[in-house]
Copies of this chain bind each other. A is one copy, B any other.
Amino acid sequence: MLKITQLLVDLYGCEADLDDEGFLLDALERASEAVGSTIMRRITQRFSPVGVSVILILAETHLSVHTWPEHGYAAVDVFICGEEKDPNVAWGVIREALKPESFETKEITRTIGESRK
């Protein structure tokens, strides 16, 4: 059994361009690198007229961002399974990139592994 912390962050009033998928992908890749995780897949999806979803599938689960540029809002999930991987390191890189005016972080502890019968 492995206890991990998943971070769910709501970012408000972002200064960064939330409609730029290349920029968002780069931010997530740098976040993944900072925490020492392995990227398996990179997925970007544009919405009309604006909005982007970027998801990295990691060897250690996933990193995702969904943006609503018209509201300056982004939803970030940092779900990294690995005993020595600190999700706050990844979140720090994303925060630096997206430059939110304010944000709300929720830390959730999950227990990964065998049945707990």
Q: Which residues of B contact A79 (CB under 8 A)?
A: 75, 77
Residues of A that sit less than 8 Å from B by CB: 6, 8, 10, 12-13, 40-41, 43, 45, 47, 53, 55, 57, 59, 61-62, 64, 66, 68, 71-73, 75, 77, 79, 81, 101-102, 104, 106, 108, 110-117
Q: How many subunits of this chain does the assembly comprise?
A: 2
Q: Which residues of B contact A68 (CB under 8 A)?
A: 112-113
Q: Which residues of B contact A111 (CB under 8 A)?
A: 10, 104
Whether the Cβ atoms of B40 and A71 lie closer than 8 Å is no
Whether the Cβ atoms of B57 and A45 lie closer than 8 Å is yes
Taking A45-B41, A53-B57 as contacts, is the C-beta distance between A71 and B101 under 8 angstroms? no
Looking at the assembled complex, report how far the CB atom of A45 sits from the nearest CB atom of chain B, in whole angstroms: 5
Looking at the assembled complex, report how far the CB atom of A112 sits from the nearest CB atom of chain B, in whole angstroms: 6
